[in-house]
Amino acid sequence: MGKVFLVGMGPGDPDLITKKAERVIKNADVLVYDRLINSEILSLAKAGAELIDVGKLPEHHKVPQDEINRILIEKAKNYEIVARLKGGDPFVFGRGGEEALFLHQHGIPFEVVPGVTSAVAVPAYAGIPVTHRDLSSSLHIITGHERAGKEKSALDFKALAALEGTLVFLMGIKNIEYITGELIKNGKSEDTPAAVISNGTMPDQVTVIGTLKDISQKVKESGISNPAVIVIGDVVRLRGKIDWYRPSNGKRILLTRTFEQSVELMDKLKDCGYQVISCPTIKVVPVYDAVGNFIASIDKYDYMVFSSVNSVKIFREAISLYGFDIRKLNGKKIAAVGKSTADRLKGINIYADIVPQEFTSDALAGMMKGEIFGKYIAVFTSDIGGEKLIEKLEQYGGYVDKIALYNNVPNYEVRSRLIEELKRGVDIVVFTSPSTFEYFAKIAGEYTSLINDVHIVAIGPVTRRAIEESGYRVDIVPESHDTEGIIDAINSYYGEK
């Protein structure tokens, strides 16, 4: 019997999830998630984890609650860790309490991981503190789902209208005219400040400011929709002075490399004001036995060549698994294809002797030419990589063994999300290897043509050639084939427009 974790995912921005939530996600065997869960969070899941989308749209429940309950029980009986991911906090209008009771009734162990509630975080991102010593000494969080025309309201609007504090309605944008009308009808001043924040904490956050009298009309004119938070009270007046958050510049960038490799690039692009979507089209499947075979014949090698960040990651995992002492690498020359790979090696206390400025196999082989004749070289790469580099090194007289540390396979798990983002529209797609593009095309299928009107970034000439040979135009190739180079190239491209 496993355990179910009811995990709060916060208000939207993946940086706002807790450390414990992240730990549960990374260890979970099954993730059962709602509509508003950010794709970046799902990318934290371990290889092989089962992802089940039970997302609900307002007025349309994709998966009925009874079915969600059944899924939780079934998975808990067959897996050790089941993560039920819920937007905001699971116990704040998230039906977390209902699910916890259901699990208790059926003898399923569970744990609650609280999340940052949108009732507080979203107003904060709009420059609105929900309490303030001079303006509001209480906070009232209310569901906004209740329908107008309901025979008997569960909400006492007379009592709500009399409250001195801040009123926060969650997911109530469809009923905003009813909510504001009832508050005014029951005695709240029509001049009371009000705000509606859509997509709070996210790059496309929009805030509409008004009063009880006109906020519903302003919302209608703005065209904003759920997810949204309604804030009513004098604290809204403070927004003009403490409106600190700056949403994105409107440009949406799609990254296709593995999530782990994308983290640095993602964070820096966000800092530049871009909206970043991670849809890894490539999945890395480790082959630890390959390192075991290398260790068994380690003494014969003079050079070790790491072809990617992934090769370093899998090598580190494998030597830890085998209990290998890296001091045994003393005396061997280390080469890395690019600065990022060299930096990752440095992170495990292995320092590269040879690092080309240009992120290509030709550049690395060129640096090694003249010193490798008759030498034995281990090239750490993927099952589909390294052929050109190996060919060059052999031409220069080296004896080369390919150590295929991992298999690259298409990540079909992102298909629905990838197509959804392409349909929604992106400005830039970044490809960091020929395989990220090849698998992108396999996964997207007929929807690949949607990138005809998108600006394409290829990390280097090899990737550019693969894309152009498939009939697509490459707009941007960075001078430096690394994270900084990609960022500089994108900023320059838009700076010239």
Domains in the chain, number: 4
The pLDDT value recorded for residue 203 is 83
Judge whether 247 lies within some domain. Answer: no
277 & 418 share domain? yes
Bridge-partner residues for 334, per DSSP?
304
Residues 76 and 135 in one domain: no
What is the average pLDDT across 368-384?
Answer: 92
| 143 shares its domain with 223 | yes
Structural domain boundaries enclosing 335: 286-409
Q: Which of residues 224, 242, 260 is at a domain's end?
A: 242
Q: Give the pLDDT band (50/70/90) at residue 212.
A: very high
> Pick from 393, 409, 425: which residue ends a domain?
409
Q: Is the pLDDT of residue 55 over 90?
A: no
Instruction: Kindly state whether residues 158 and 299 are assigned to the same domain.
Output: no
Band (216; pLDDT cuts 50, 70, 90): very high
CB of 215 closer than 8 Å to CB of 196:
yes
Whether residue 186 is contained in a domain is answered as yes
Q: Flag whether pLDDT at 394 surpasses 90.
A: yes
Q: Return the CATH number at 110.
A: 3.40.1010.10
Strand partners, 262: none
- Per annotation, catalytic residue among 34, 313, 333, 482: 34
Is the domain of 107 the same as that of 143?
A: no
**217-235: average pLDDT:** 94
54 in any annotated domain: yes
Q: Are residues 275 and 336 in the same domain?
A: no
Lowest mean pLDDT among 45-54, 72-81, 293-302, 482-491: 45-54
Do residue 30 and residue 94 come from a single domain? Answer: yes
Angle between helices 65-78 and 96-105 in degrees, nearest 10: 50
Mark whether 34 is an active-site residue: yes
How high is the mean pLDDT of the chain? 90
- The pLDDT, as a whole number, for residue 339 is 83
Told to judge if 383 belongs to the known catalytic residues of this protein, a careful annotator would answer no
- Split at pLDDT 50, 70, 90, the class of 242 is very high
Residues 334 and 432 both lie in one domain: no
The one catalytic residue in 56, 270, 369, 442 is 56
Residue 91 shares a structural domain with residue 107: yes
Position 436 in a domain: yes
Catalytic residue among 171, 202, 266, 368: 171
pLDDT above 70 coverage of the chain, percent: 96
- Note the pLDDT tens digit of each residue in 15-26: 999 999 999 999
Q: Are residues 424 and 277 in the same domain?
A: yes
Confidence of residue 228 (pLDDT cuts 50, 70, 90): very high
Whole-angstrom Cα distance, residue 68 to residue 84? 10
Are 116 and 7 spatial neighbours (Cβ–Cβ below 8 Å)?
Answer: no
Q: Do residues 468 and 429 both lie within one domain?
A: yes
Instruction: Give the CATH number of the domain where residue 137 resides.
Output: 3.30.950.10
3 state SS for the chain: CCEEEEEECECCCHHHCCHHHHHHHHHCCEEEECCCCCHHHHCCCCCCCEEEECCEECCEECCCHHHHHHHHHHHHHHCCEEEEEECECCCCCCCHHHHHHHHHHCCCCEEEECCCCHHHHHHHHCCCCCCECCCECCEEEEECCCCCCCCCCCCCHHHHHHCCCEEEEECCHHHHHHHHHHHHHCCCCCCCEEEEEECCCCCCCEEEEEECCCHHHHHHHHCCCCCEEEEECHHHHHHHHHCCCCCCCCCEEEECCCHHHHHHHHHHHHHCCCEEEECCCEEEEECCHHHHHHHHCHHHCCEEEECCHHHHHHHHHHHHHHCCCHHHHCCCEEEECCHHHHHHHHCCCCCCCECCCCCCHHHHHHHHCCCCCCCEEEEEEECCCCHHHHHHHHHCCCEEEEEEEEEEEECHHHHHHHHHHHHHCCCEEEECCHHHHHHHHHHHHHHHHHHHHCEEEECCHHHHHHHHHCCCCCCECCCCCCHHHHHHHHHHHHHCC
Average pLDDT over residues 303-313: 91
Whether 17 and 58 map to the same domain: the answer is yes
Q: Could you tell me the pTM of the whole model? A: 0.74
pLDDT given at position 497: 47
Note the pLDDT tens digit of each residue in 425-448. Answer: 999 999 998 999 999 999 999 999
Would you say residue 56 has pLDDT above 70? no
Would you say residue 339 lies in a domain?
Answer: yes
**Domain stops at, among 95, 116, 137:** 116
